[in-house]
Amino acid sequence: MTFCAHVWFNYTCLGVLITVGGVLEKLNVSAMNLLGRRLSIVGSCIGGIRETQEMLDFCAEHKIQADIELIPATPEAVNVAWDRAIAGDVKYRFVIDTKKTLVAPSAEEIAQLQSYLATQAAAAEAEEKKAT
């Protein structure tokens, strides 16, 4: 991944550069570049749900797409992808294609799950009443 902070600095008058996750490249920034144009740099190891949705909306609006390598959701394919990641043989992010390989639950399975969840909720409510 190439970190393009220089592009951000050259074309941004006001704004915030938010890095999510680790960027291994050093960021050479002059304090004067930040202060004079009221720029900020912040970071987080992960983004929250709201931030993730904003990023997805922004990407959709501006037709920004990620370069990915789609792999089947099979143990063999995941193991190969893992081995390649460990070996550094990955050009794009792996995405596991669960849509093609996972089967939607049947109506009976959904009913069983709903029944189980209702039972658990009732038990938790009874436990809470007992505690008060």
pLDDT in tens, 32-54: 877 877 888 888 777 778 888 89
φ/ψ region of 2 (left if φ > 0, alpha if ψ in -120 to 50, else beta) reads beta
Question: pLDDT band at 5, cuts 50/70/90?
Answer: low
Residue 87 covered by a domain: no
What domain range includes position 56?
1-65
123 is a domain residue = no
| DSSP string across 23-79 | --S-----HHHHHHTTEEEEEESS--HHHHHHHHHHHHHTT----EEEEESSHHHHH
CA dist., res. 23 & res. 2, Å (int): 9
Q: Residue 14: inside a domain, yes or no?
A: yes
Separation of alpha carbons 130 and 132, rounded Å = 6
Q: What is the mean pLDDT of the chain?
A: 82
> Does residue 126 belong to any structural domain of this protein?
no
Q: Is 114 domain-assigned?
A: no
Domain count, the chain: 1
- Give pLDDT, residue 83: 94
Question: What is the tens place of the pLDDT at every residue in 52-68?
Answer: 889 889 999 999 988 89
Q: Is 78 contained in some domain? A: no
Q: Is residue 15 part of a domain?
A: yes
CA distances from 104 to 56, 59, 60, 96, 98 (A): 25, 29, 27, 17, 11
Q: Is residue 71 part of a domain?
A: no
On the question of pLDDT at 123 being above 80, the answer is: yes
